[in-house]
Structure 1
Amino acid sequence: MNVKKQCLFWIILLTVLTVCPAQNNSSSKNKKPNIVVILTDQQHVKMMSAAGNPFLKTPAMDEIAANGIRFEQAYCTSPVCGPARSSIVTGKMPHQTGVEWNGQAIKKGIPNSGRIFRENGYETVWAGKWHLPEAYPQSNSDKHKSIQDYTVLPFWDTSKKHYGLGSKTDPPLTKAVVSYLKKYNKEKPLFLTISYHNPHDICMYARKDGWTSKNDSLLEIRYFGYKTKLAPIIGQDPHYIDSLPPLPHNHAVEKDEPDFITEKRKNHKEYGVETMFANQEFDSIEWQGYLNAYHKLTEMVDVEIGKVLQSLKDNGYWENTMIVFASDHGDGASAHKWAAKLSFYEESATVPIIVSWPEIKQKGIVDRQHSVSQIDILPTLLDYADIETSEKFYGSSLLKLAECGKSKWRDYTVVELADFVKDKSRKGRMIRMGPYKYSIYSTGEEQLFHIGNDPGETQNLVNEVLLASVVENCKESLLEWGNKTNDSFILSIL
């Protein structure tokens, strides 16, 4: 081989070795990742074994946490189903989406996550509970059979009545999702939201219709299955009382609790009925049974999530899929003698938020420092998918917090409450700012807790003279937020 041919040979070889790999890497980077969002209903942030709760086991949720970043100061935007869900799918606060109470639809013109991802080449699929306004669009009773910008995954057997119970809807939902993942052609990247119902069934424990109904499904929640293998967990059989979880240290009603909250314990038959009935009827054993049932319902939905995770692995999604796990709001969980949601107490206002993606540098991160919100979920998804949009968000991508606090984060997180649709004047706002949590209600009543020193929120410090500057700082930040987001309630109350 002469010199010229040798030179030409080496030039071609070097070109193949250096240019071609770069092209392959570029092609890999240009391939959009899949995104799977998994939602539960009425699960507070400590209701998983990964969060240190010793009274239940949630291996599926724990696995997501072990492969990503879990946030311990994670708040819903409102402790009500529809409002919180509107924030998850739009990245906006409930007063902005127009969904401040259940039964409302998102304002026209506000794009949901389905539209944004669909416009960017994704197959967008919604599976399970929606609640904006219909709980399940495919049920016989609902007027709307579709969700705008989403393909609704069929799973509802219209020949059967489910009575709004996750014990009946969650297993067939999982079966439909697993079947879909197995058959999906993968021509487009997948944006899939799987929205489970449980542990929301805990609502039925406190309702009197669950005590007396002839419907076996309702009785199964109230007595939690004396006719089934789940019989022991209710705890009314003395043989099982000793195995019940203890009451939380903050089980007692807070001294000097605002009338805004106390009223709901007494006469809110239409909205907040669970708390009213629980306060009227429960002794300490029944409160323990309530908490135990809540644990078991959470374990039940974790089993379903585990099946989905296995399907993602079996069908080749695991290495190119972001998984986000969250809930719409929490539950009183016997703290403050509170059942269900509709309060700013930590048990009702906090939710699990976990983000897991294949490229995360350090797995199993637990962020205890930053307060995060459901308005951060959509910006996180868009950041990971490298999608730009003209929509204005007030949340931020959570990906940067995986850098272990190196990135600057906002100073506070705000939660809204509109707790009674028949009296639209009843509202409140809460702000988490560092270790402090301040709330103000339409009655003018206020609360201030130091969550670091008093995680159970047993001492209202709002009238402490030495903390007057803290209260003032919280109000100033709330007012800043009100001006930024055009929150008429904040602007009127402050």
Structure 2
Amino acid sequence: MPGRRNVLLIVVDQWRADFMPVLGADFLRTPNLDRLCREGVTFRNHVTTTVPCGPARASLLTGLYQMNHRAVQNTVPLDARHMGLGRALRNAGYDPALIGYTTTTPDPRTTGPKDPRFTTLGDLMDGFRSVGAFDPNMEGYFGWLAHKGFPLPARRADVWLPEGEDAVPGATSRPSRLPAELSDSSFFTERALTYLKGRGDKPWFLHLGYYRPHPPFVASAPYHTMYRPEDMPPVVRAASVEAESEQHPMLDFYLRSIRQASFFERAGGAAAELDEADIAQMRATYCGMMTEVDDCLGRVFEHLDETGQWEDTMIVFTSDHGEQLGDHHLLGKLGYFDESFRIPLVVKDPDRPQEAGRIEAAFTESVDVMPTILDWVGGTIPRACDGRSLLPLIEGGASHPWRDVMHYEFDFRDIFYSKPEGDLGLAMDECSLCVVQDAKWKYVHFAALPSLLFDLEADPQQFRNLAEDPGHASVVATYAQKALSLRLRHADRTLTHFRATPQGLEERTTP
């Protein structure tokens, strides 16, 4: 396509795939996302290849599986040798801008132990130019609030308490103390419009990140009452926490350890104690925050329309990971359930308008986003990349055989706010799992704990583990072999295509 080639990569936080109207969530109002789905391709079977935020964003922005980038948990450093999207775009002639965050802990070999970035969950990935960072401690946002005249409380996180001195922390229909025009979603949107208007006619790449619908689960007015709890999809869980915990020791640990305070400011009690009414209210608030993000995207899309850039811009909409939302008695993103790993992916490719509105059912993964963008702008996809460009799928079908399973990982080693190792009697490097999953079977392999097998046709909600059933031993063996073969195929290949020969260095290409 001649002329400018702009890219808008929208990365929301903690947005489940089944909360998309185009995929069946008819209770949700997202007209701007709906427009993007009408004009792009929506991927029905898309997963993040790892959780939580830091590892997920490392995979999204390097195209590497966790087993290769090894930033295995929030706070674990990302090796500086890995080529991230920002650096790769610079090699292609772009000055990649970033609004939001990447939750990247720096390589300690590139700095010193007193670096303040080691006191936070993570900072910005190398290669991007920040034009509106949330900052590790959200200082940029809090400064913006103060500049706008909002009185900051002594404990800054109290801005996310519900309105009213008599408000009880927890799931609530009360609005946030922040008006919508001062929400973090509005902050990111203003930063995006400032950047785009300043860019003028020059081609651009913008990573536009939004914090929502990440908790705290409290929405600004009028979004706090936009959805009724009784209209929310019902929770999917075992009859009791005890029954749920019987499935696996790791699941039992998280059911005992996750606290409501991570999701509702100053709330007490365990997340597993939430009753169905609280979960329904939490989901209504979650939807309200989604619609607020959608309204904010509408302002960005309107600017692209008014300036004639909509037709020239590839737009990618995705999330870093999902959210359990009370399913299986869990909150957050963890473990092996689909609610944590299935996420949205929509790609509007202005080169292929004939594919607009199509829903693609092939198995796709977050590691595919980086090579897709680089392919579209004419950049170089790193040899080490585990993902594949989605442009052949967007064109209506892969030119080569596509993957036959989805793959994702979770590492549950100790970090400062979660301590599974001693509870489970495991060493640090034994706290990992990987999943291979297709339409029929889901196999979960642990490094040092019992494996799991689910028949997704008979048991789509994954309550019955068949791994120990002798009648399914051959299925376990087959899918364990699939997992092993996948790991062998994707072992680090940064330099494995080079050869020393009598004539000198030879570089082979992949067929």
Same fold (TM over 0.5): yes
Which one of the candidate residues 1, 6, 9 is aligned to 1:37?
Answer: 9
Contact 1:288–1:334 (Cα < 8 Å) also in 2: no
Which one of the candidate residues 195, 199, 215 is aligned to 1:184?
Answer: 199
Aligned equivalent of 1:199: 213
Normalized per residue, the structure richer in helix is 1
Contact 1:271–1:419 (Cα < 8 Å) also in 2: no
Q: Is residue 2:163 matched to residue 1:170?
A: no
Aligned equivalent of 1:47: 19
Amino acid at match of 1:116: A
Q: Is residue 2:68 matched to residue 1:96?
A: yes
Give the secondary-structure state (helix, strand or coil) at the position aligned to 2:355.
coil
Contact 1:414–1:430 (Cα < 8 Å) also in 2: yes
Q: Distance in 1 between matches of 2:464 and 2:50?
A: 23
Give the secondary-structure state (helix, strand or coil) at the position aligned to 2:201.
coil
Q: Distance in 2 between matches of 1:273 and 1:440?
A: 29
Aligned equivalent of 1:356: 348
Aligned equivalent of 1:462: 467
Aligned equivalent of 1:447: 452
Following superposition, the deviation at residue 32 of structure 1 comes to 5.2
Following superposition, the deviation at residue 124 of structure 1 comes to 0.9
Following superposition, the deviation at residue 127 of structure 1 comes to 0.8
* Structure 1 residues 261 and 303: CA distance shift in structure 2, 3 A: same
**TM-score, normalised on structure 1?**
0.78
Instruction: Map 1:66-145; keep pairs closer than 5 Å.
Output: 66-133=38-105
Q: Is residue 2:220 matched to residue 1:248?
A: no
Amino acid at match of 1:107: D
Following superposition, the deviation at residue 381 of structure 1 comes to 0.8
Gaps of 5+ in 1: 1-27, 206-220, 235-239, 488-494
Q: Distance in 2 between matches of 1:63 and 1:453?
A: 35
Amino acid at match of 2:462: E
Aligned equivalent of 2:479: 474
Deviations 1:203-237 (A, max 9, x none): x34xxxxxxxxxxxxxxx2xx67xx5455479xxx
Aligned equivalent of 1:217: none
Contact 1:125–1:150 (Cα < 8 Å) also in 2: yes
Q: Distance in 2 between matches of 1:293 and 1:32?
A: 39
Aligned equivalent of 1:17: none
Aligned length: 427
RMSD: 3.2
Q: Which moved more, 1:33-42 or 1:353-362?
A: 353-362
Which one of the candidate residues 388, 406, 412 is aligned to 1:419?
Answer: 412
Contact 2:104–2:124 (Cα < 8 Å) also in 1: no
* Structure 1 residues 466 and 309: CA distance shift in structure 2, 3 A: farther
Give the secondary-structure state (helix, strand or coil) at the position aligned to 2:96.
strand
Q: Distance in 2 between matches of 1:468 and 1:177?
A: 53
Q: Distance in 1 between matches of 2:125 and 2:245?
A: 45
Amino acid at match of 1:195: G
Amino acid at match of 2:22: A
**TM-score, normalised on structure 2?**
0.76
* Structure 1 residues 453 and 365: CA distance shift in structure 2, 3 A: farther
Q: Is residue 2:386 matched to residue 1:386?
A: no
Which one of the candidate residues 301, 305, 316 is aligned to 1:309?
Answer: 301
* Structure 1 residues 363 and 320: CA distance shift in structure 2, 3 A: same
Q: Distance in 1 between matches of 2:321 and 2:195?
A: 28
Amino acid at match of 1:121: G
Deviations 1:292-341 (A, max 9, x none): 22222222212222222222222222111111111000001222122111
Amino acid at match of 1:132: T
* Structure 1 residues 175 and 395: CA distance shift in structure 2, 3 A: same
Give the secondary-structure state (helix, strand or coil) at the position aligned to 1:449.
strand
Contact 1:267–1:276 (Cα < 8 Å) also in 2: no
* Structure 1 residues 122 and 400: CA distance shift in structure 2, 3 A: same
Give the secondary-structure state (helix, strand or coil) at the position aligned to 1:438.
strand
Give the secondary-structure state (helix, strand or coil) at the position aligned to 1:200.
coil
Q: Distance in 1 between matches of 2:295 and 2:49?
A: 27
Following superposition, the deviation at residue 74 of structure 1 comes to 0.7
Q: Distance in 2 between matches of 1:409 and 1:290?
A: 38
Contact 1:181–1:315 (Cα < 8 Å) also in 2: no
> Which entry has the higher C-alpha Rg, 1 or 2?
1
Amino acid at match of 1:148: D
Gaps of 5+ in 2: 107-114, 134-139, 147-151, 161-177, 416-420, 422-427, 493-511
Q: Percent identity?
A: 24
Following superposition, the deviation at residue 451 of structure 1 comes to 2.7
Amino acid at match of 1:483: L
Amino acid at match of 1:262: D
Amino acid at match of 1:436: W
* Structure 1 residues 309 and 233: CA distance shift in structure 2, 3 A: closer
* Structure 1 residues 186 and 109: CA distance shift in structure 2, 3 A: farther
